[in-house]
A and B are shown apart, each in its own frame.
Chain A
Amino acid sequence: MKPGQGTGEPALSAIGLRRDYGERTALEGVGFELGGGETLLVLGPNGAGKTTLLRILATLLRPSGGELRALGCAIPTESWKLRGRIGLLGHEPLLYRDLSGRENLRFHARLHGIGGERAEARIGELLAAVAMERRADERVAELSAGMRQRLAICRCVLHEPELLLLDEPDSNLDAGGRELARALIGPGEARTRVVVSHDPERFEGEADQVLRLEAGGRPVLA
């Protein structure tokens, strides 16, 4: 049973979360509680700390203060238990430009302990889901930004993560691409999602909760 699905413990909870970069505070006093399979939409202008929040949730940044738990683990003390359970789709696709899309996905599959036929089957299935089978053997450097985003989505869900952290997931995608992406990273029972966006209208319908941040990283009080 997953956290937030009948255990009484939320999948994601934050109390007074803060992050400083030197003397500058990027995030301050952020709190929320999210159940399993729910979606948290994070909105805010540039410099509001949205990406910082996502990187903290991904265990890539340590919080400077506050309490944070994800999928039953305390961050940062139990971050090691979370790795492999999180899928991050950030500004960068996290793909090597000199390798092909398929080679990149094989590399990420091996890092997540998925090998052999299981990896090939999963990669084939994902490439088909984003309509990238025909371009999968080209170097990433030669692909358009939209195609890289489709591959990045495949990379993000390759290991079937329980928690999806999505930073502007629609960026560079056309209408067809957005529709294909929705099947992989859209709302679903098995996916707890945190979605960062500048576009409230696009994701508000999918959100169970909305967190609005203002410049300086403080939550906007309703």
Chain B
Amino acid sequence: MTPDRITPTGTAFAAILGKDLRAELRTLQSLPAMGLFAVTTFVIFRFGLDRTTLSGSLAAGVLWATLLFAALLGVNRLFVAEREQGGFDAIRLAPIDRSALFAAKAAALLAYLIVLELIVVPIFALFFLDSAAALGPLAAVLLLADLGIAATGTLISSMAVHSRARDLLGPLVLLPLLVPLMIAATGASEPLLALGGPGYHRFGTWLAVLGLYDLVFLLVGYAVFDFLLED
């Protein structure tokens, strides 16, 4: 091993992401909890609101509040193995660009969110929507919002995991940071879920806001992650 030899970032990214997905498939520590939480919340809304259909802002609110809090369960567990089983040390000892860890963890969280939504969004439609026409365009909103949650969640989770109060600290810092993302996501979803079929009023604007949020937090994560891993 020569001093200047650095493992390619793509190789390190694939190694960390592959390890995380393999461990999740084997232990199912995050996804089932996220899915169960989301479905239970939909059931509570269904009976609590005493309505068989929802539309517009109420539907968007129910959907995004549920997905946001389900996502927090995944965010909280994102770095637990690294913290408890020495993964941080192993990664810090390796000749890699540490932003590979940020990218791999964000990609793992994004994968969890996509799988979660593939399961629970059809259940949401079944519980609350008259038709499934909104689901196609809603996928774009979900994907952009997921990317924002993954970038911000990874950043905050990497800081909170070192604290003894990580289960409290993570959401406490993360939720305010996700408010703009949630405003944009519900704003984009509201016309799609309107009574009488999907509409596209200011849809493009909200998608642009989501994209901008994603870009900002991906860049912030890339820029500061190396410093967060220092002692």
Contacts and interface: CB of A to CB of B under 8 A. Distances in A.
B157 to A, nearest CB: 17
B95 A113 contact: yes
Interface stretch (B8-16, B31-39, B203-211): B8-16
A95 B3 contact: no
Contacts of A80: 95
Contact of B3 (A61, A73, A93, A108): A73
A162 B5 CA distance: 14
A88 interface: yes
A161 B93 CA distance: 11
Contacts of A99: 19, 22-23, 26
Nearest to B3: A81
Contacts of A96: 19, 23, 81, 85, 87
Given A59-B92, A62-B230, A93-B86, A98 B8 contact: no
Given A98-B27, A99-B23, A107-B19, A83 B94 contact: yes
B91 interface: yes
Contacts of B96: 83, 111
Contact of B95 (A93, A95, A112): A112
A98 B26 contact: yes
B3 A111 contact: no
A200 B4 CA distance: 37
B8 A113 contact: yes
Most buried by B among A81, A83, A86, A111: A111
A212 interface: no
A84 B14 contact: no
A199 to B, nearest CB: 24
Interface in B154-206: none
A115 B11 contact: yes
B-side interface size class: 20 to 34
B5 A113 contact: yes
Given A98-B26, A111-B12, A159-B1, A58 B86 contact: no
A105 B177 CA distance: 38
Contact of A92 (B18, B23, B89): B89
B87 to A, nearest CB: 7
Contacts of B131: none
- Report whether over half of chain A's contact residues are helix, strand or loop; otherwise say mixed: loop
Contacts of B89: 58, 60, 88, 90, 92, 94
A159 B5 CA distance: 12
Contacts of B26: 98-99
Interface in B65-118: 81, 85-87, 89-96
A97 B95 CA distance: 23
A38 to B, nearest CB: 20
A84 B92 contact: no
A155 B85 CA distance: 14
B7 interface: yes
Interface in A142-179: 155, 159-162
Contact of B85 (A92, A112, A160, A161): A92
A93 B7 CA distance: 22
B50 interface: no
A62 B231 contact: yes
Interface of B: 1, 3-8, 11-12, 14-16, 18-19, 22-23, 26-27, 81, 85-87, 89-96, 230-231
Interface of A: 58-62, 71-73, 80-86, 88, 90, 92-99, 103, 107-108, 110-113, 115, 155, 159-162
23 contacts: A59-B92, A60-B93, A81-B3, A83-B92, A83-B94, A84-B5, A84-B93, A84-B94, A92-B85, A92-B89, A93-B86, A94-B90, A96-B23, A98-B81, A99-B22, A103-B22, A111-B7, A111-B96, A113-B5, A113-B8, A113-B11, A115-B11, A161-B1
4 closest Cβ contacts across the A-B interface?
Answer: A84-B95, A110-B15, A94-B86, A113-B7
